[in-house]
Amino acid sequence: MLRDEVGQDLVVGIEYVLRLDDGEEVDRSDADEPLQYLHGRKNIFPSLERELSGLSVGDTKDIVLSPEEAYGARDSENIVEYERNLFPAEFEFVVGSLLELRDPDDADHVQTAIVRASGSDTVTLDFNHPLAGETLHFSVKVVSLRPATQEELAHGHVHLAQGGH
């Protein structure tokens, strides 16, 4: 296996900028900390992995992912209208804002939703991923490549120098 090209079980460092069809930038890697992922383990979108395969350090590539290859289509069934009185009266629903809803029986289970409408009797919450239905335009630069450690291979993901997950 080539060690100087992006391939299976290598830890790949990338700088990236993510834009939508209209050019709006919605995400980018940290200026001083590139994203690192373990290639071939579905840590990132499989289509993105496939497009990065074979690149070398210093290579750049523009990669377009369809909604199906990324966060999926928007589903109208994920947009739900609730009775306003299910929520505390003092809680303010700001249209367009992102909410985190915690399951009272399972504190680890957090769902995010976007407020689509807020009236005196009902509120409408959209549980689709904020980027569902979007075509993603990645500009990517490969900045590092190294073999994964045994521990990383066993876990199926990258361990950063600090030892965190």
Cβ atoms of 11 and 147 closer than 8 Å? yes
Given the complex with Zn ion, which of 74 and 155 has the nearer CB atom? Answer: 155
Please identify the residue of the shown chain whose CB is closest to the bound Zn ion: 155
Closest separation in Å from C-beta 137 to Zn ion: 31
Judge contact between 132 and 153, C-beta under 8 A: no
What is the distance between the alpha carbons of residues 53 and 33, in angstroms, rounded to a whole number?
21
Nearer to Zn ion, 129 or 159 (CB): 159
Residues 103/87, Cβ–Cβ less than 8 Å: no
Binding site for Zn ion (CB under 5 A): 155
Minimum CB distance to Zn ion, residue 113 (Å): 30
CB 53 within 8 A of CB 7: yes
User: Smallest gap, in angstroms, from Cβ of residue 152 to Zn ion?
Assistant: 7
User: Nearer to Zn ion by C-beta: 40 or 67?
Assistant: 40
**Angstrom distances, CA of residue 110 to CA of 27, 54, 120, 160:** 22, 37, 26, 25
Which residue lies nearer to Zn ion by CB, 41 or 155? 155
Q: Which amino acid is at 56?
A: S
CB of 151 to Zn ion, least distance (A): 7
Q: Say how far apart CA 14 and CA 57 lie, in whole Å.
A: 9
Report in angstroms how near the CB of residue 165 gets to Zn ion at its nearest.
5
Pairing of strands 25-28, 10-19: antiparallel
Output 116 or 157, the one with its CB closest to Zn ion. 157
